[in-house]
Structure 1
Amino acid sequence: MTKQFLWVTLAVGVSLTLQTKRGQAQETAPMIIKATQVFTPPDGGDDPNPPQETSIMVYIKGNHVKSESKSDVQHTIVLVDKDAKKTTQLYENQGRKYGYYSIDTPRTTPRQPRLDSAGNPRPRPSTNIDYIDTTMTIAGYKCKKALAKTSFAGRNIVTEIWYTEDLPIKEPIQTGGRGFGFGGFNQLKGFPMAFTTTVFNGATIQYKVTKVTVNADIKDSEFDVPKGYDVKPESERPRGQGFGGFRGGPGGGPGGPPPGD
């Protein structure tokens, strides 16, 4: 397994919807969420990589969100400006700082289905959620258990999730801005505070929120692009990288080799 594949699970983007308990959108109080994520390679084989831990910090203020992740292999920042419908992904590795931004514009043509090697449309993943009658406290919040069962291309993934209904956030913090290739989080009745899943190759991902600070003192400058980054439009991302980076594994990895390497 290469470091590029590890980055599939390590850099963190966000897709957060703020809501009241009645489901109506509103601006929430400034919030900081701290979490950890551990990627463990599959057992057996010749994979030399040990479990890789990533520290995650998410800042939410009004319609701005910043997600920052740090590990031994990469430092990644994702900035979301909902007013401008702009997402900026920043990468720092191999001594270089670079990034790409995209603007969410209305689609004027129907989305074309992705095709397999035979030219047939690829099936879309389907997810069912089972709610389990048990609770646990995580970072001071009462959480309930759910099992998200996703079927895709004849394969199945079961994700154990602990979620809370006490935070005004609907969707989860997602790696690479796209998630892990499995779904169900956006169907939850609350905000995921922890989850464990095994991906198709047998590797496992464990995620857990460790601290939530509500009414946090967050400066507006926190959402600016730091100095020193060479940021280009998404259309200039090198071939071989998808939105989120190098496609070294399921869902695409967030980063990959710096441009020109």
Structure 2
Amino acid sequence: MRTRSATPGGRIRGSGSGRWERPPAWALVAMALCLAGLVAVGPSALAPGAVPSAEATEPTAAPPAAPARPTAVPLPWPADRPLRVLFIGDSLMWGSFASDESLTYRARVTAALSARGPVEVATVGGPGWSAAEATEDLPGVAGPFDLVLVEVGANDSVALTAARFGEDYAALLDGVRALAPDAALVCDGVWNGPELATALDRELRPVCAEHGGVVVPLSQLYVDETLRGPEGSPVPGGGVRDQFHPNDAGHAAIAEAMLAVLDL
């Protein structure tokens, strides 16, 4: 084993035959600068294939995606007969708490369609109806139909699990397609707040798509309290409104949303 001792001149002298000279000052400065650079860059600079880019910048966040718009539903108009429309729904379709029958969303949609040509309307459903009850009543109407508008789920949202509603909704649309295989199909989302409507809407969206329809969400209309009630206000003809059902402005908003997806 060799031993080393320092000479007064700063040279290192070994006990063996070789001798190592101290590097000149400029070399020591260069080495120090290199080491300082490695410390500043960090360990990633030493990884194989890691080449720091002079143009590297902080990543920028992607802009938020725009809300998806419902796809337009083509609505071919028969040349030799009136347009046949089927409304399926609960108390909203029935028009509960509207000031007049002409102000319900069903009547408003029918009036807009009638402005283009003759229309014949059939209905399935009524106050308190569920998707399963509507399915049972479908055999009571006869096709063909050119347009089917389905609005159920408000009653199911407080009585069924989302999974069970999805099954009932699929059975309902199976019945619709058996009755009207080629009809344009509009599926309204559930009329309720997001805490109850969201899970059911999540079930009905793919079912509606599988049956060739388009979904019109309603929960964003429901949360606008000016479209409901006010609770206790009188309804012409008798009765008072609650804070759940749409008022005249609510029916108008629902009709506008439904008509917006029809390619008239």
Structure having the higher Rg: 2
- TM range, smaller chain: under 0.3
Q: Which has the higher helix share?
A: 2
Greater share of strand: 1
